[in-house]
Every structure is written in structure tokens, then in C-alpha cells.
Amino acid sequence: MAPAPSEPRPPVEPYKVKVVERIRLPSREEREAALRAAGYNLFQIRSDDVYIDLLTDSGTSAMSDRQWAAMMIGDESYAGSRNFAHFEETVRTLTGFPHIIPTHQGRAAENLLFSLVGRPGTVIPNNMHFDTTRAHVERNGSKAVNLAIPEAYDLQSPHPFKGNVDVPKLEELLRGGPALVPVVMVTLTNNTGGGQPVSVANITAVHAACRAAGVPLYLDMCRWAENAFFVREREGGMRDLSIPEIGRRFFDLADGATMSAKKDGLVNIGGFVATRDTALAARLKEQLIIFEGFPTYGGLARRDLEAASVGLREACELDYLEHRIGQVRYLAACLDADGIPFVHPPGGHGIYLDVARFLPHLPASELPGQSLVVELYREGAIRTVEVGAVMFGDAEPGGPPPLELVRLAIPRRVYTSAHLGYVADVVRRVWNRRTSIRGVRMVEAPERLRHFLAKFQPMA
Ligand code: F0G
């Protein structure tokens, strides 16, 4: 039945389905048992016990028939594989960076870069560090600081580019020059802050500040195509440009980038680090051989590189992006209709529920974000992720408290709008009983990246 005119309209898929994967809604009893066995940590739940998996948009994309066809032309040579040549050419064309070093995923690229540029006594800023980025910065002795604009912390601010860097603050930090700041990172889109985009104007100002201080600028370009889509829509003079053309507006201002192709590469595994710095590239390759593999495969099967070459291009197609961002907006409209609070405007890869307004009766010490994650699973076997006190509570001692969010990340080309309608129903059911939801306590936590392995207990 067609929706009434007042109801949000789902976007129409620019593809049809060729292969299906069965999913099953576990019973209420099974869900309770799964929660108990997992220590109330959704990372510890088997995917067979999940109905709609919104844990991450990373490595969870459905590949296209063209990508699967590309997998069949893998040239699995250790050295000099033609698939690497194609991958290198694709990434060079899209980014303009001359040195392309493949890695098995984004954090491997981060490991290579930060193990060479990070050191004690230095500070590495970002609009907002993602968890693995922060971990690699800190593992190498640098201090990771977040320098997003104040609007990024105002969950209702309609600012069109809430991923932007606070340039005056950056300039202040850059007074210490390269001795203090070995590299400036900017993440497109700002995942930790709600999948919010960064404007070309902002990168231009960041670039000028970096140049003046003699500090290189690197982009975390995991979701660069989604970022470019927002730029095309929201920034003056960009409307007639293609996604790759907008991408070059960013990349031409940067010295290099790290990439997880598991996002805007539309593959299940893969990534790279890219740079203009020939000397650094040589050292990155030495590191690569120790940790990942030879520079023409970087920890991947060569067929994976071929699939990424195709996926990187497909992620730039406008009809794909319109549908992708359209799905996020559709879910946003469904939740808005019920007055459910989330980060506005909706970002590129998911909805971020505003936990402080969802569960205002729970103090921070009762980990309301984690409680909400548990309740969404309990209600409808939806797996989401806490982006708040558990993920980042121990990140910057003395720094601003992290935003308290629950992310519903939408995998690319995987779920239909009917699935998203189900998700909206489940969130609404939890919303309707929100005042009776109780907190959780962390009863076990590893030292680093504790959200992956921590165990929790419901509060009595
Ligand atoms: N940078 C950003 C902004 C990310 O979102 C991620 C991964 C990485 C780097 C690391 O990439 O997973 O390929 O090693 N984000 C996923 C997420 C895991 O769920 O947001 P990776």
C-alpha cells in the first residue's frame, strides 16, 4: 500500500536483488539468553542472534555483481599483481596522491602512519578521533585532541557542516609548529560526532593554517564520498560538480590520507594510506612489509583489491548516494514523527540517538547509552553501538565529556526500507517504555578500546 502523503517516503533502490541472505528474529527468551551470555555487550553477541545488524557500516556492504565479477579476475601473484596496478590507478585518479600503499583495513593504515609520525610530547588534532585512530595516536606516545566546532557538541544545531574543525583553536595549537604537532588529521565525515560533513571552505582554512605552520594535513577519508554528497547539496557553487570533482577539492589540499575501504570502498575488507611525501612513502612501505605484506597486496588477496577498485567508483555514483543518504533520512523522518531525539541534521551513515534526552533519568554513572543499546536488542534483536561514556569515557582525562550517543549505522545496499521501518517501530516501542529503563554497570574492562570486550550487568 502506498504511504499516505504525510508519511515519510522511503527512497527507491537504484538496484535489484540477485542474492539473498536469510535472517531470523530470535524469540524473546533467546534474546535474553544471548544478552546474558554476552555480558550485555553487543559486540559479544553472535550475528545469528541478530535480526537487523546496525552495529557498523564498516565491511558490511553488499557488493555488486560487477564487484563479484572483479573478484574472479584476481591475479594472486605475490609481487606486481595487475590488480594492484588497477587499484593504484583508481586511487591515484580519485585522490591525486602519488604514493598508494594498500592495507587490510583502515586501522592498519593508521598503524603505519602514526608509528612513523607519532611520538611522545606531541599532539595530533582531529575534528574528532575515531576510537582506533585515537588508540594508534596514543599507542605511539602522542596526545590525541578533538577540535571540532562547538556546534558539533550541540546535538540540535542545524549547522550544515558540524564536522568542521575549529580553525582558531587549531591555529592556537599550531603555534607549537611541527615539533609539537607532527600532523593534523581531519575525518570525512566526522563519525564520532554523528557522521557529520566537513565543508570545502573549512578544509581550505585548515590547509592554510597547516601550511603557515609547516605541518602536514592528512585526511581520514573513510566516508569521503558521503561527505562530498553533502558538500554538493549544501555548499555554494558545488551543485554542478561530480562526487570525484568535489573529492579533489579536498584531496588537492591534503598531503595524504588514510582510508578504510570497508566504508566508501563498498568492500568487506581493504584500505590504504596515501601520501605525496616520497621519503615517508618509502618508510611506510618498509613498515608495511613487516606488518601487512608486500606493497602490491598489503595484507589482502589481490582479488580484494580488484573488488575495491570497482567499489571505490560505485561509491561515487549519484543515484547510489542519493539512495544511501535517503535511507538515513527516511529513518530520521520516521523517528522525528514520534519525537524521538537524535543528532540533527542526520549524518551520512546512520542515526545517532541523543541518549541524554532519551533516558534523562539515568545519570552518566549508569551508562545510559549502553542501557539503550541493550534495550534495542532486547526489544527487537537490533544491534547498535554505544558511542559515549563506554567508548570514550576514559579517552581525554580532564577533557570535555564525550557526547552520549547510540549509533544506528546503516550498512550500504543491505537493508530495505521495510527493514528500516521495523527499526523505527522497535525504537518507538523502547521510547514508549523509556521511563522504566534501568542503567547498567561495567563489571570488567580491558585497558584500551574497552567497549569491544567489556562486560556489564543490569543495575538492580
Ligand atoms: N576512521 C574512521 C573514521 C572510522 O570510522 C573507522 C572505522 C576507522 C578509521 C578504522 O577503519 O575499521 O577499517 O580499521 N570505523 C568502523 C565503525 C569500525 O564502526 O565506525 P577499519
Q: Answer whether residue 10 is part of any domain.
A: no
Q: Which ranges constitute the DSSP H helices of 196-242?
A: 200-213, 224-234
**What pLDDT does residue 258 have?**
98
**What pLDDT does residue 450 have?**
85
Q: Are residues 310 and 323 in the same domain?
A: no
Q: Answer whether residue 327 is part of any domain.
A: yes
**What pLDDT does residue 1 have?**
52
Structural domains counted in the chain: 2
The whole-number average pLDDT for the span 370-388 is 97
The whole-number average pLDDT for the span 317-329 is 98
Reading the block at residue 161, the C-alpha cell is 557542516
Q: In what helix (H) or strand (E) does residue 186 lie, and over which residues does it extend?
A: strand 184-187
- HEC string of 49-118 equals HCCEECCCCCCCCCCCHHHHHHHCCCCCCCCCCHHHHHHHHHHHHHHCCCEEEEECCHHHHHHHHHHHHC
Looking at 314, 346, 377, the residue that finishes a domain is 314
Q: What angle do CA 35, 38, 42 make, to 5 degrees?
A: 75
Q: Which residues contact 233 (CB under 8 A, 6 or more apart)?
A: 239
**What pLDDT does residue 312 have?**
98
Q: CATH number of the domain that 291 lies in?
A: 3.40.640.10
Phi-psi region of 293 (alpha: psi -120 to 50; beta: other; left: phi over 0): left
Ligand 1 is surrounded, with C-beta below 6 A, by 56, 58, 105-107, 130, 132-133, 187, 191, 220, 222, 260, 262, 271
Q: Ligand 1 centroid to 107 CA: how many Å?
A: 7
Q: Answer whether residue 87 is part of any domain.
A: yes
Q: Name the residue at shortest CA distance from atom 4 of ligand 1.
A: 130
Residue 279: count of CB within 10 angstroms of its CB: 8
Q: Are residues 338 and 257 in the same domain?
A: no
Strands 123-126 and 271-275: unpaired
Q: Answer whether residue 11 is part of any domain.
A: no
Looking at 276, 294, 314, the residue that finishes a domain is 314
Reading the block at residue 167, the C-alpha cell is 580553525
Q: How far is CA 404 from CA 155, 328, 401, in A?
A: 10, 20, 9
Q: Are residues 37 and 119 in the same domain?
A: no
Residue 6: which pLDDT band, with cuts at 50, 70 and 90?
low
Q: Name the residue at shortest CA distance from atom 15 of ligand 1.
A: 58
Buried b (16+ CB within 10 A) or exposed e, 68-104: eebbeebbeeeeebebbebbbebbeebbebebbbbbb
Q: Are residues 272 and 334 in the same domain?
A: no
Reading the block at residue 188, the C-alpha cell is 570525512
The whole-number average pLDDT for the span 305-320 is 98
The whole-number average pLDDT for the span 197-204 is 98
The whole-number average pLDDT for the span 200-228 is 98
pLDDT for residue 3 is more than 70: no
Q: Ligand 1 centroid to 408 CA: how many Å?
A: 15
The whole-number average pLDDT for the span 411-431 is 97
**What pLDDT does residue 446 have?**
86
Q: How far is CA 111 from CA 9, 107, 209, in A?
A: 42, 6, 25
Q: Answer whether residue 251 is part of any domain.
A: yes
Contact indicator for 193, 403 with CB cutoff of 8 Å: yes
pLDDT for residue 155 is more than 60: yes
Residue 433: count of CB within 10 angstroms of its CB: 10
Q: Answer whether residue 6 is part of any domain.
A: no
User: Which of 137, 146, 262 is the pocket-test mutation for ligand 1 (most atoms within 8 Å of CB)?
Assistant: 262
User: How many Cα atoms within 13 Å fall on the side-chain side of residue 85?
Assistant: 9
Q: Are residues 302 and 418 in the same domain?
A: no
Residue 391: which pLDDT band, with cuts at 50, 70 and 90?
confident
Percent of the chain with pLDDT over 90: 92
**What pLDDT does residue 451 have?**
86
pLDDT for residue 146 is more than 80: yes
Q: Are residues 251 and 382 in the same domain?
A: no
For residues 408 and 103, give the distance between their C-alpha atoms in angstroms, rounded to a whole number. 27
Reading the block at residue 376, the C-alpha cell is 534495542
Prediction pTM value: 0.96
Task: Domain of residue 394: give its range.
Answer: 28-57+318-458
Of 1-15, 333-347, 352-366, 432-446, give the lowest mean pLDDT range. Answer: 1-15
Residue 398: which pLDDT band, with cuts at 50, 70 and 90?
low
Q: Ligand 1 centroid to 16 CA: how many Å?
A: 28
